[in-house]
Amino acid sequence: MAYNFPETEQKILKFWQENKIFEKLREKNKGKKPWSFLDGPITANNPMGVHHAWGRTYKDLFQRFKAMQGFDERYQNGFDCQGLWVEVEVEKELGFKNKKDIEVYGIDKFVEKCKERVRKYSAIQTQQSIRLGQWMDWENSYYTMSDENNYSIWHFLKKCWQDGYLYKGRDTVPWCPRCGTAISQHEILTEEYKEITHKAIYFKLPIKAGKFEGKKFLVWTTTPWTIPANVALVVNPEFEYGVYKVGNEKLILLKSLAEKIFGIEYYLEESIKGQDLKGIKYEAPFDDLPRVKKISAEKPDTFHTVVLDKDLVTEIEGTGIVHCAPGAGEEDFKIGQREDLAVIDVIDESAVYLDDMDDFSGKNAKENPEMIFDYLKNYKSGEFFYKIEDYTHRYPTCWRCKTELVWRIVDEWYISMDKIRKPLMEITKKINWIPSFGKERELDWLKNMHDWLISKKRYWGLALPIFECQKCSNFEVIGSKEELKERAVEGWEDFEGNSPHKPWVDNVKIKCQKCGEIVSRIKDVGNPWLDAGIVPFSTMKYFSDKDYWKKWFPAELVCESFPGQFKNWFYSLLVMSAVLEDKNPMKTIFGYASVRDEKGEEMHKSKGNAIWFDDAVEKIGADPMRWLYARQNPAENLGFGYNVAEETKRKLMTLYNSYVFFSTYINKDELSDEMLKIKPENILDKWILQKIDKLTLLVESSIESYNVARAILAIEDFFINDLSLWYIRRSRKRFHEDNPERNGAISAFYYVLSNLTKVISPIMPFFAEQMYQDLKIKNMPESVHLCDWPKLDKNKIDDNLEEKMDEVRSIVNLALAERIIKGIKVRQPLATLKIKNIKSKIQNNDNLLDLIKDEVNVKEIIFDGNINNEVELDTNITEELKGEGLIRELIRHLQDMRKSLGLKPSDRISIFISGIEELNKIIEKNKEFILSQARAVEIFIGNSQKDYDLEKEVMIAEKKLLISIKKK
């Protein structure tokens, strides 16, 4: 039987919509105990991907499960709207290359375009999520670009300012020359480091005076564009350096690296401790540039001297003498501050060399390393040049546009972390992290993180409400729209009616509280993680309805893909909650890894292995996708693709076929209340009832503890091994109309299936609904999603029977394996099966022993402690047993023929058999058995027949036999 997932899902979607099932569910649970889920906003910048579908599956299944338990929920979805990711896409749309293009186009028009893009993709993502089966209050999604969200962050920033956490810092920061903005430490994730081969250069710097005059330092760098910004050299005070005679020069470098650089032809003239190089002055090749001259004159004492540092200098690579440019490197900047070094800034926001740098000015530093090499090769007849070589290393790139980063010295705004580090770590410890390593990772990050760089020199984002006086340097932070209106001295009319974004908000000026000067807002926008971090406040009415906020805060659950979020969303949530309330904003963080392709590789459009959500959901169906996602261990990456999806579907077909079996044998009209109340007596029925109850309890406790995969594996094990391969397999006969146990079996099977639909409904909402609708009888709720989770008493379940059945099944498995080894088909009856375990609890239970006899096809079971193996089959096939085997073979053919005619179990047939004289007697003898097994009313032996529905020639006992059947 085939089940068309995508087609059925479309029908169910319509059913839900037309009958307002979700609205009815909300109504049903309204006012009950709350269960608060906090949605991490999806970036509304592109259609949603199969990786988003993984997270959205979890989000939906937890919420559906909690709804079945009767909890009231908010069902609020979020869209992340502001920030560089949207800007970059809009730039691409408009064909822009850099920030100048945006300014020429008009910031207002550009910002409108960004908003437009967000609206477009949030609508698309909404439709896609609905298609996945996600139930949310879609009309009421939150958008981080909303006025409310932005003003909430203003409030937060004002609090930071009042508490003394907010400051302006001048620092060397990682910078994307294409995006023209700083990239905060939080945004440089491990995956943004790319393996890149650069040209590294060795260059020589002559010593000016003193004992070593005339000798040269050999220095190495992988960022040659920074050499003009050099102000010092760093050596390790504890290392041994050497003066080497190479040709007619004397070069100083680390002794342990000399061989690597020179090969064999070099000569050590003198050893020096790093310590003793301190303070030596040297000459550098760019000293004549006006910019270098001017800035170095500010700090002549420390300019071009050797300084000491134990951490920066290693023995692994280079020369042991490190080039230090505080204007172009993070570590360099720190050393510069410690040693009071001059800071020479050499590039602008696009990495173009600044003024006063002769021929270099106006040229892009990163794109033209050759000009530095050429210069060094020619300057003073190449006296400073040593050699160039390829150097491959992991180098950070922009997370948004993949451009290689540079380091620039800039003024940026920061939130100081030192004072809130401790409370942050405290609230982090209060959270239940799943997987548990999440807690350690977050704490590790919090322990080591720098201050939070919150400003960006961009356009589409939170307008940082910082007003800095150009005259007296005082700055203030405005905490709300009302406060801004009150303080406004000009421009309010131009702003009113617009969203608090650039360029409109920049019309508003206030008066400096210190000196009375008219003050503008700083030009920067905010780090986008501020936008998402504030949502436990902005979306839960923290400012407008404290009772509501107290009801829903902290959230029970946050559920996001963890790579990246430790430094980003989780982090910003924690910081903002620590500052505003000193409380953990959620009780549990459930994290999951990343989606990869089936080979475990990252999906990329360019690699051709990307799978689009829309394609996947229409090819595979939402339910098998959800099943596949939910089955995965969330701590590990998920390999997604059409092959694994096929596998999942095949498995689910087993479940489908079980319920097809039910509806084939049972007419819904006969399912009376009385019948369903029958307490079954048969041991198989009793057993499967226990099994489904235990499964229900296990799924409940697993989902409650967010161990979804355990729930899924248990459900699969149930419907494959217990239901299909054992219960149905061993119960077929009992569903026949004339079987005395039929009603009990129906009652049990119905209970199993109807509970199973509930158990799977949070995971496969469509499939469950389809099954439920097929099984539904009067007085039952309209939809499976309006049903309560089955309430069971753990203590009423008796494990005893399960244990015995496990033994039965293990004996069966051993015996069947024995048959395979001996090459005897199961259809061939055998006389005895001996079982070694004489202490077995099933010994006196005829019902259980009958199950073994039927399944293993033996006449008798003997418990015998003296046999060698666990089980032993008597493989002696007597004439009589052989005859029975042939009969079973015949019955199998008859059943196949019924199937190919598409007969229902209630259809009766006539059988005509001719061809083998020797068989006639055996058939005659087993006539009744054949009639009942083939559901026939008569058998004619010996005559061929012209009037039949199907005729088939088969081989039995290596002879040809002609069988025909006719429907009565």
Among 517, 598, 782, 870, binds Zn ion (CB under 5 A): 517
CB of 190 to Zn ion, least distance (A): 18
Stretch that binds Zn ion, among 112-120, 170-178, 767-775, 906-914 (CB under 5 A): 170-178
Query: Based on CB atoms, which residue is closest to Zn ion, 469 or 723?
Result: 469
720 is an interface residue for Zn ion by CB under 5 A:
no
Residue 762 contacts residue 930 (beta carbons within 8 Å): no
Among 14, 92, 97, 471, binds Zn ion (CB under 5 A): 471
Query: Based on CB atoms, which residue is closest to Zn ion, 178 or 804?
Result: 178
Joined tokens for residue 404: 């290689």
Stretch that binds Zn ion, among 411-419, 514-522, 557-565, 911-919 (CB under 5 A): 514-522
CB of 116 to Zn ion, least distance (A): 22
CB of 382 to Zn ion, least distance (A): 36
Among 253, 357, 454, 469, binds Zn ion (CB under 5 A): 469
388-417 residues in contact with Zn ion (CB under 5 A) are 398, 400-401, 403
Query: Based on CB atoms, which residue is closest to Zn ion, 405 or 683?
Result: 405
Stretch that binds Zn ion, among 375-383, 515-523, 762-770, 798-806 (CB under 5 A): 515-523
- As a whole number of angstroms, the distance between CA 511 and CA 348 comes to 31
Mapped to the 3 state alphabet, what secondary structure does 319-332 carry? Answer: CCEEEECCCCCHHH
173 is an interface residue for Zn ion by CB under 5 A:
no
Rounded to 10°, the helix 846-856/799-822 angle is 30
CB of 183 to Zn ion, least distance (A): 8
- As a whole number of angstroms, the distance between CA 308 and CA 727 comes to 78
Query: Based on CB atoms, which residue is closest to Zn ion, 499 or 520?
Result: 520
- As a whole number of angstroms, the distance between CA 555 and CA 590 comes to 12
366 is an interface residue for Zn ion by CB under 5 A:
no
- As a whole number of angstroms, the distance between CA 300 and CA 896 comes to 99
Query: Based on CB atoms, which residue is closest to Zn ion, 56 or 99?
Result: 99
Binding mask 116-155 for Zn ion (x = CB under 5 A): ----------------------------------------
Query: Based on CB atoms, which residue is closest to Zn ion, 474 or 773?
Result: 474
Q: Please report the sign of the dihedral spanned by the C-alpha atoms of residue 601, residue 605, residue 607, residue 613.
A: positive
CB of 473 to Zn ion, least distance (A): 7
Among 21, 111, 179, 728, binds Zn ion (CB under 5 A): 179
* Helix locations, 472-560, DSSP H: 481-487, 492-495, 528-533, 535-538, 546-552
CB of 488 to Zn ion, least distance (A): 17
376 is an interface residue for Zn ion by CB under 5 A:
no
Joined tokens for residue 354: 């600044």
Nearest of 181, 158, 147, 154 to residue 475 by alpha carbon: 158
Number of residues that bind Zn ion (CB under 5 A): 15
Residue 520 contacts residue 467 (beta carbons within 8 Å): yes
Stretch that binds Zn ion, among 171-179, 421-429, 690-698, 939-947 (CB under 5 A): 171-179
Q: Of how many residues is the chain composed?
A: 968
Stretch that binds Zn ion, among 130-138, 153-161, 179-187, 886-894 (CB under 5 A): 179-187
40: enclosing H helix or E strand: none
61 is an interface residue for Zn ion by CB under 5 A:
no
CB of 149 to Zn ion, least distance (A): 25
Stretch that binds Zn ion, among 106-114, 337-345, 411-419, 504-512 (CB under 5 A): 504-512
In 346-402, at which residue ranges do the beta strands (DSSP E only) sit? 385-396
514 is an interface residue for Zn ion by CB under 5 A:
yes
Among 251, 351, 512, 764, binds Zn ion (CB under 5 A): 512
Mapped to the 3 state alphabet, what secondary structure does 201-251 carry? Answer: EEEEEEECCCCCCCCEEEEEECCHHHHHHCCEEEECCCCEEEEEEECCEEE
Nearest of 668, 915, 908 to residue 771 by alpha carbon: 668
Query: Based on CB atoms, which residue is closest to Zn ion, 176 or 522?
Result: 176
- DSSP bridge partners of 271: 242
Residues 6 or more apart whose Cβ sits within 8 Å of residue 139: none
Binding mask 424-463 for Zn ion (x = CB under 5 A): ----------------------------------------
Query: Based on CB atoms, which residue is closest to Zn ion, 241 or 407?
Result: 407
Query: Based on CB atoms, which residue is closest to Zn ion, 176 or 534?
Result: 176
CB of 189 to Zn ion, least distance (A): 14
CB of 461 to Zn ion, least distance (A): 15
CB of 105 to Zn ion, least distance (A): 18
Among 123, 297, 515, 838, binds Zn ion (CB under 5 A): 515
Joined tokens for residue 844: 């006196």
Residue 175, number of CB atoms within 10 A of its CB: 24
Phi, psi of 563, deg, nearest 5: -55, 125
Residue 706 contacts residue 817 (beta carbons within 8 Å): no
Among 176, 313, 321, 956, binds Zn ion (CB under 5 A): 176
Q: What is the DSSP string of 652-669?
A: HHHHHHHHHHHHHH--GG
Joined tokens for residue 27: 């109504």
Q: Please report the sign of the dihedral spanned by the C-alpha atoms of residue 651, residue 763, residue 134, residue 121.
A: negative
CB of 405 to Zn ion, least distance (A): 8
- As a whole number of angstroms, the distance between CA 318 and CA 202 comes to 8
CB of 470 to Zn ion, least distance (A): 8
Q: Please report the sign of the dihedral spanned by the C-alpha atoms of residue 459, residue 465, residue 469, residue 472.
A: negative
CB of 110 to Zn ion, least distance (A): 16
CB of 323 to Zn ion, least distance (A): 26
How far, rounded to the nearest angstrom, does the alpha carbon of residue 412 sit from its chain's CA centroid? Answer: 33
518 is an interface residue for Zn ion by CB under 5 A:
no
DSSP state of 521: B
- As a whole number of angstroms, the distance between CA 697 and CA 694 comes to 5
- As a whole number of angstroms, the distance between CA 645 and CA 649 comes to 6
Residues 6 or more apart whose Cβ sits within 8 Å of residue 486: none
Among 56, 178, 304, 819, binds Zn ion (CB under 5 A): 178
Binding mask 473-492 for Zn ion (x = CB under 5 A): -x------------------
Positions in the binding site for Zn ion (CB under 5 A) = 176, 178-179, 398, 400-401, 403, 469, 471-472, 474, 512, 514-515, 517
